């Protein structure tokens, strides 16, 4: 022991260091929990993609969630599917009041658009729009998308809030052989592919795909 420092002073210092170390060790678990909680609630924004050339120049009179019924006409072609999910901000809060739009080609690969020659099946609505519920949920009834003109099957999606456009992107079908040949899908990073490529799984007589959307509201 150093002769210049009294024994009681050294003992006090040791006790002070032990208390400080104990406080740090007690704080570490709480800090880790806080970091994990922040990571869990901070969600990655859904990647944007090009709108493409066939966004409607005139919206159909029937623009509801059911693309398999256009007015009084029923569309029996293709494989019926539900596309649904939740729209949230990065903190996981539902974006109630947002509007989700989808548009896609019919079973023969044609859009309701003058640029596609007016060849689309009139029984297929081709475009739908829904307002997100209080819990952030949206749902559309449509067909499993099909390939056309060198593009892999996909559904176009747009999210709006009032006059603001929050997102435009495309949804792809998991394990479709056309994905690896598609120039837009190939440009995506692995993380972006995972975010935009969803499984269309059989449920009853239909298919069901869940596509969560995260936007900066």
Reported as a single tens digit per residue, the pLDDT across 24-53 is 445 544 444 343 433 444 699 999 999 999
12 vs 107, more confident = 107
Residue 136 near residue 199, CB atoms below 8 Å? no
Q: What is the pTM of this model?
A: 0.81
**pLDDT tens per residue, range 169-195:** 999 999 999 999 999 999 999 999 999
Distance CA 209, CA 139 (A): 10
Q: Could you tell me whether strands 206-210 and 80-88 are parallel, antiparallel, or unpaired per DSSP bridges?
A: parallel
Q: Which long-range contacts (C-beta less than 8 Å, at least 24 apart) are formed by 193-198?
A: 195/44, 195/46, 195/47, 196/46, 196/47, 196/49, 196/169, 196/170, 196/171, 196/172, 197/171, 197/172, 197/173, 198/171, 198/172, 198/173, 198/174
Strand, coil or helix: what is 67? coil
Could you tell me which residue, 105 or 20, shows the higher pLDDT?
Answer: 105
Look at 23-32, 103-112, 115-124 and tell me which has the smallest mean pLDDT.
23-32
Residue with tokens 């060198």: 150
Residue 12 has pLDDT above 70, yes or no: no
Query: Who's near 136: CB < 8 A, 6+ residues apart?
Result: 86, 87, 88, 93, 94, 95, 96
- Which residues partner with 170 through β-bridges? 156
Interval 97-123 mean pLDDT: 96
Q: What is the pLDDT of residue 217?
A: 76
> Which range is most confident: 6-20, 28-42, 59-73?
59-73
> How does the average pLDDT of the chain come out, rounded?
88
Band of residue 13 on the pLDDT scale cut at 50, 70, 90: low
DSSP reduced 3-state for 182 = coil
Please state the CATH superfamily assignment of the domain spanning residues 69-214 in this structure: Aromatic compound dioxygenase (2.60.130.10)
Q: Taking Cα atoms as reference points, which of 208, 142, 196, 193 lies closest to residue 169? A: 196
């Amino acid at each position: 022991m150093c002769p210049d420092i009294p024994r009681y002073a050294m003992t006090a210092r040791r006790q002070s260091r032990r208390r400080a170390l104990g406080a740090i060790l007690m704080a570490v678990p709480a800090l880790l929990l806080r970091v994990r909680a922040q990571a869990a609630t901070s969600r990655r924004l859904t990647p944007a993609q090009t709108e493409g050339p066939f966004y409607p120049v005139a919206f159909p009179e029937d623009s509801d969630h059911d693309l398999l019924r256009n007015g009084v006409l029923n569309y029996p072609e293709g494989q019926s599917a539900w596309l649904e999910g939740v729209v949230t901000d990065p903190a996981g809060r539902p974006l109630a009041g947002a509007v989700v739009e989808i548009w896609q080609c019919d079973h023969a690969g044609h859009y309701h658009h003058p640029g596609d020659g007016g060849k689309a099946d009139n029984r297929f609505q081709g475009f739908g729009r829904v307002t997100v519920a209080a819990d952030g949920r949206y749902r559309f009834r449509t067909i499993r998308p099909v390939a056309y003109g060198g593009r892999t099957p996909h559904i176009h999606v747009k999210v709006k809030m009032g006059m603001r456009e929050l997102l435009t992107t495309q949804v792809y079908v998991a394990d479709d052989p056309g994905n690896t040949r598609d120039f837009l899908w190939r440009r995506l990073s692995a993380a972006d592919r995972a975010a935009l490529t969803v499984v269309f799984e059989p449920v009853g007589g239909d298919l069901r795909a869940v596509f969560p959307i995260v936007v900066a509201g």
